[in-house]
Structure 1
Amino acid sequence: MADRESHLNPLAKSKSHNLPKNQQKSSKCLVYILIIVVFHSIMLFVFGSVVLPFKSPKVHISHITTQNLHYETAPLASLNMTMVSEIQVYNKNFGSFKFQNSSATLLYRNITIGMANIYGGRVEGRERKRMNMSLQVRANKLLSDYNFNLSSDIDYGLVKLSSHAKLKGEVRLLNILKRHRIAGMNCTMNLNLTSQEVQDLLCQR
């Protein structure tokens, strides 16, 4: 009876044999795809970690101008002004660098006399980003020892200053590999009170 039904309906027998084979082929294709994806992920990780190591971007001050400069030595030494600076962030990586909001400080003999905001942004791979920064300097409430030094520097006509900043962010390569990196800024300069200009600007790179 079964042979008769099989003879009368050969398509039913064909379907019963073909269905498992199709399922096996689909499973094999899925396995091959997963293997290829894993292999490419490993190769990309090795390529990004060994061939293209993630580097910390560089940030420095490229130009500074002063505005509304005012200073005096009596009864206490004081120094007030506005400093307008251009900051450059250079991303040496092939992937983009996205950094968070931060701030830059201006110091006189390790005493903070000014601070400015640095807004977050993005620097594409192997490119530079220029940003303007305005910083208000108020050096009129220094401790006695520092006030004495500031008075001496003002009389000499040259005030030594330094500026520091850290840009915390993430370097992304093809939006797959990501590494946290910090771009640090460490600059020194001299403020010439006679010319009211910043000179001898030097930033570590």
Structure 2
Amino acid sequence: MAEKEEQTKPLSTTTTRSYQINGEHDHAISIDLKKHHHNPKYLKCCGYISALILILAFTILMLIFTVFRVKEPVLNINSGKINGLDRASKNTIRLDTNLTVVADVSIENPNVVAFKFGNTTTTLYYGGVVVGNGRNPAGVAEAGKTVRTNMTIDVMTEKILGVRRLTSDLSYGALGMRSYTSISGGVKILKIIKKNVVVKVNCSMTFNITSQAIQDQICMQHMSF
């Protein structure tokens, strides 16, 4: 019977007062927040911040698709020669002849950010056969700048001697060849977004045996991301 009376005993005055105070405090905070949210200055401030964020996001997107749009780096073979052709006769090239192609190459970067590229690889073809390979070291073409380098390709004489049309080309005084060059690199937009770029260049050219120079050069370039 005593336990039942204890269970039904009302809360003390102190406890009730504490609940009332807490309730009044929470109610006051709720009213204050409602007033704050309905305050015109607060709403206007939130509107300004939201508009600023939208404008900033739109501006960044516009810059990425216009000013910072990735443009194709251009590779040009300005001049070149094939060393060792002076030892060639109208009939053949000696097997012990060291043939080396040396070309003055420029990489033009039209972007507003730097273009960093890795090793440049070049393959030389004659009569549909791979007759030479070359590699150039990595480098950087600064924004709107052109970097120049010498590309060296070691030619395999035994491969050239195996091409049937060699005799007729020597009598004509010119060797028609093709080259394939690949450059892999990238640009970093606003130091956040990085775009990887691969530039592939196919060229056809003629090496004049008398002058040892490159002439009648035609190149086609393709870029991929």
TM-score, normalized by length of structure 2?
A: 0.65
Aligned equivalents of 2:193 and 2:93: distance in 1?
A: 59
Aligned equivalents of 2:79 and 2:152: distance in 1?
A: 12
CA contact (8 A) 1:61 1:187 kept: no
Would you tell me which structure has more strand in proportion to its own residues? Answer: 1
Aligned equivalents of 1:88 and 1:131: distance in 2?
A: 6
Instruction: State the identity %.
Output: 28
1:168 is matched by which residue type in structure 2? S
Q: Which runs of 5+ in 2 are unaligned?
A: 1-28, 37-44
User: Superposition pairs for residues 89-104 of structure 1, below 5 Å?
Assistant: 89-104=107-122
CA contact (8 A) 1:79 1:140 kept: no
**Residues 157 and 104 of structure 1: CA distance in aligned 2, closer, same or farther (over 3 Å):** same
CA positional deviation for 1:133: 1.5
**Residues 127 and 93 of structure 1: CA distance in aligned 2, closer, same or farther (over 3 Å):** same
Higher relative contact order (Cα pairs below 8 Å, separated by 6+ residues): 1
CA positional deviation for 1:160: 0.5
User: Superposition pairs for residues 1-205 of structure 1, below 5 Å?
Assistant: 40-69=56-85, 70-71=87-88, 73=91, 80-141=98-159, 147-204=163-220
**Residues 123 and 75 of structure 1: CA distance in aligned 2, closer, same or farther (over 3 Å):** closer
Aligned equivalents of 1:81 and 1:142: distance in 2?
A: 10
SS in 1 for 2:156: strand
1:175 is matched by which residue type in structure 2? K
CA positional deviation for 1:33: 8.3
Aligned equivalents of 2:128 and 2:104: distance in 1?
A: 22
CA contact (8 A) 1:57 1:182 kept: no
Q: Match for residue 6 of structure 1?
A: none
Q: Which runs of 5+ in 1 are unaligned?
A: 1-16
**Residues 156 and 61 of structure 1: CA distance in aligned 2, closer, same or farther (over 3 Å):** same
Q: What is the RMSD of the two structures over their aligned residues, measured on CA atoms?
A: 3.6
Question: Which deviations, in whole Å up to 9, do the C-alpha atoms of 1:120-141 show, x marking residues without a partner?
Answer: 1111121111011222212323
SS in 2 for 1:89: strand
TM-score, normalized by length of structure 1?
A: 0.71
> Of the two, which has the highest radius of gyration?
2
**Residues 200 and 81 of structure 1: CA distance in aligned 2, closer, same or farther (over 3 Å):** same
CA positional deviation for 1:38: 7.8
Q: Match for residue 3 of structure 1?
A: none
Aligned length: 183
CA contact (8 A) 1:71 1:77 kept: no
Runs of 4+ in 1 over 6 A off after TM superposition: 32-35, 75-79
Aligned equivalents of 2:129 and 2:210: distance in 1?
A: 23
SS in 1 for 2:151: strand
